[in-house]
Amino acid sequence: MITSLPFEDELQYGMYLKKLNSCLKQEVQKAFNDLDLTPVQGQFLIILDTQMGGRARLKDMEEAFQSAQSTIAGIAFRLERKRLIRYDIDDSDRRVKWVCITESGKALCARSHDTLLQAEQKMLSELTDREKKSVLKILQKMFHALDSQSD
């Protein structure tokens, strides 16, 4: 009876990264459900508030998310219905729409950030500070290796 495949050791990295991603995704989805948001909506609010200064063109959000206009417009539409963002028309070019975070959006954004932080802290809870730094450095190297090959 074969208990392991000869190449099993070589494939553990990807398997554990996939399992880790799945577990983290479940944690984040659970937490965002409590906020009546999807993880993508929470991420949209966080990016809009922290990276874009609370105001951005939809085009800027498309670039930040590396997503299609229709996807970003759908996210923004749902957030507007929840009154977490609003649209402003550009004074100098009426064709340009600005997405602006509302006060309610800012409050929920802070809670969203805390939610993500708690999920990450839970994931790292059994590591020492030194191990956390090492893991981050290793993940960055792994990402760089794959990212530089895709050019």
pLDDT tens digits, residue range 100-109? 999 999 999 8
- Residue with the two structure tokens 């006060």: 103
What are 28's two structure tokens?
């984040």
Q: How far apart are CA 30 and CA 96, in angstroms?
A: 35
What is the percent of the chain where pLDDT is above 90? 48
Q: How far apart are CA 145 and CA 120, in angstroms?
A: 23
Cβ-based burial of 40 (10 A; exposed 0-12, middle 13-18, buried ≥19): middle
Say which CATH topology domain 30-126 has.
Arc Repressor Mutant, subunit A (1.10.10)
Please, where are the H alpha helices in the chain?
12-34, 39-46, 58-65, 69-81, 103-124, 129-149
According to DSSP, residue 54 is labeled T
Question: For the whole model, what pTM was predicted?
Answer: 0.70
**Residue 44 clears pLDDT 90, i.e. is over it:** yes
Q: How confident is the model at residue 72 (pLDDT cuts 50, 70, 90)?
A: very high
- Nearest-CA neighbor of 76 among 44, 103, 46, 106? 44
Q: How far apart are CA 148 and CA 150, in angstroms?
A: 5
Q: How far apart are CA 118 and CA 141, in angstroms?
A: 25
Predicted local confidence at residue 112, as pLDDT: 80
CA 132 to chain CA centroid, Å, is 20
More confident residue, 3 or 20: 20
